[in-house]
Chains A and B, each alone.
Chain A
C-alpha cells in the first residue's frame, strides 16, 4: 500500500485556550485535529487538572511540513509568552494523502 510522508505536530497547552488554538490551527491550514485532556508537569509545577484553570490539553495535528511549521511558529509567538505551551514535531506516514 502506498504511503505518504507527513508531520505530526503536537501542542500541549492550557485548556483555557483550547478554542483559540483549534481555530488558529484550522485557519492556518490544518484539515483536522485530535484533542485530548492530559495531565503532567514542568517548569510551572505539576498540573493535576483538578481545577478548571489547571487543566491541560494535547492537540494533535497531522499535516504537511509547511503547515506544521506555520502553526508551530504562530502558537509559539502568540501563546508561549504567557501560557504553558509545549510543541513538538515528528514524522508520520499516512495512507490517504488527500486527507492531510
Chain B
C-alpha cells in the first residue's frame, strides 16, 4: 500500500530541520492545530458512540486502562538494565510509552479508512482513557522511595484537566450528546478539513522530531534500539488484546497502534513537573525522534498487515 500522504508532510518537516531551513510554525498555530485535532477526534468518536449501547465499551475500556498501567512496569526493568538508565529517566520514558499518542492514532485511523476498513468508534474513548494511567504508574516508579511526598491530587488534576484529556473527553461528550445529526452543521470544519490539518500538524511534528535528533546522539544506541523494539513488542500485546476482545481487523490494528505509541503532549509536561530529575531530552528524543517516525512510516502498515493476517 502506498504511503499515507500525511506522512509525507512529516518527512517534509524533518527534511527542513536537517537542511537547516528557517521554516518554523508559530507557537499559537501549533497550539490551535493541536486543539483542533483533539476536539475533532473526540467529536467524531462521540457522535459514532451515540449509536452504540453503553455496555459494549466496558471490556475494551478496562483492558485499555490496565494495559496503559502495566506497560511502564514491563518497560522499566528493560530500560534500567539494557539501556543502563537512572531510575528517574527509566521511569519517565516508561511513562511516555504507557501513555498514548493522539496523532499516531489519527494517522492509524486515516490508514485504516484508506484501506477501506472500518474500526470501532469506541477506540476514540480509549485514547482518552490511556493517557493518564501510564503517567501515574511512571511517576510512582520514579518516586518509590518518596511515594508519600507525591502530591497525587495535584497530579490527577494536571493529567485529567490537561488539554489533551480534557479536550478529547469534552469532544466525546459533546459528540455523544448531539449525535451524528447534531454534528452535521460542523462537518465542514471538524470533518472535511481534518486530513489537511493533520498534514499541517505532521509538518510541525517533523520539524520538532528533526530538532530532537541531536538528543539521540547523547541518548546512545541502546535507547534508539529501544525506540524501535518497544513499539513492536507493545503492538504484539495490543494485537493479542484486540483479538481477545473480538475487535474488527481495523480495530485490532488501531488498538495495536495505541499500545505501540508513546505520548508527547500529556506525558512530557506531567513528567517534567512531577519528576524534574529525569532528563526530558532522553524521553522526548526517543518518543518523538524514533518511535513516532517508526510508527507512522513502518509500524502502522505492519500492524495493519498483521491484523489482516489474523483476521
* Cα A24 to Cα B48 with chains together (Å): 45
* Inter-chain contacts of B118 with A (CB < 8 A): none
Determine whether the beta carbon of A53 is less than 8 Å from that of B284.
yes
Question: Are A50 and B207 closer than 8 Å at their CB atoms?
Answer: yes
By the criterion CB–CB under 8 Å, are A53 and B280 in contact?
yes
Cα–Cα, bound, A37→B264 (Å):
21
Q: Does B191 make an interface contact (CB < 8 A)? A: no
Mark contacts of B262-284 with chain A using CB atoms, 8 A cut-off: 1 yes-contact digit, 0 otherwise.
00110011001100110010001
Q: Determine the chain A residues whose CB is within 8 A of the CB of B269 once the complex forms.
A: 16, 52-53
A62-100: CB near B (< 8 Å → 1, else 0) gives: 000000000000000001011100000000000000000
Q: Which of A50, A79, A82, A83 contacts B24 (CB 8 A)?
A: A50
Residues of A within 8 A of B273 (CB): 16-17, 20
Chain B, residues 20-56, CB within 8 Å of chain A (1/0): the string is 0000110100100000000000000000000000000
A-contacting residues, B168-219, CB 8 Å: 204, 207-208, 211, 214
CB distance from B74 to the nearest CB of A (A): 25
Q: Which of B30, B264, B277, B280 contacts A50 (CB 8 A)?
A: B30
CB under 8 Å from chain A, chain B span 138-169 = none
Q: Given the known inter-chain contacts A17-B273, A82-B276, A82-B277, please indicate yes or no for A52 contacting B268, CB distance below 8 A.
A: yes
Q: How far is the CA of A49 from the CA of B29 in the complex (A)?
A: 13
* Binary contact track A32-66/B, C-beta < 8 Å → 1, others 0: 00000100000001001111110100000000000
User: Judging by beta carbons under 8 Å apart, are A50 and B265 in contact?
Assistant: no
Does A51 lie within 8 Å of B208, measured CB to CB? yes
How many angstroms from the CA of A49 to the CA of B26 in the assembled complex?
9
A83, B210: Cα distance in complex, Å: 23
Tally the A-B contacts, defined by beta carbons under 8 Å.
40
- With known contacts A37-B27, A55-B27, A82-B277, A50–B272 Cβ distance under 8 A: no
Closest to B25 in A: A50
Query: A52 touching B265 by the CB < 8 A rule?
Result: yes
Contact B211 A48 (CB under 8 A): yes
Residue of B nearest to A83 (CB): B276
Q: Which residues of chain B come closer than 8 Å to A51, judged between CB atoms? A: 208, 264, 268, 284, 288
Nearest residue (CB) in B for A37 is B27
What residue in chain A is nearest B163 (Cβ atoms)? A52
List CB contacts (< 8 Å) of B252-270 with chain A.
264-265, 268-269
Question: A53, A79, A81 — which one has the most chain B CB atoms within 10 A of its CB?
Answer: A53
Q: With contacts A17-B273, A48-B24, A83-B276 known, is A53 near B30, CB below 8 A?
A: no
Further 7 A-B residue pairs, CB within 8 A, beyond A52-B269, A53-B269, A83-B276: A16-B269, A16-B272, A50-B27, A51-B264, A51-B288, A55-B27, A81-B276
8 cross-chain pairs, A with B, having the tightest CB-CB distances, nearest first: A82-B276, A16-B272, A53-B268, A51-B208, A82-B277, A53-B280, A52-B269, A16-B273
Could you list some 27 contacts between A and B, CB below 8 A? A14-B272, A16-B269, A16-B273, A17-B272, A17-B273, A20-B273, A37-B27, A45-B214, A50-B24, A50-B25, A50-B30, A50-B204, A50-B207, A50-B208, A50-B211, A51-B208, A51-B264, A52-B268, A52-B269, A53-B268, A53-B269, A53-B280, A53-B284, A79-B276, A81-B276, A82-B276, A82-B277
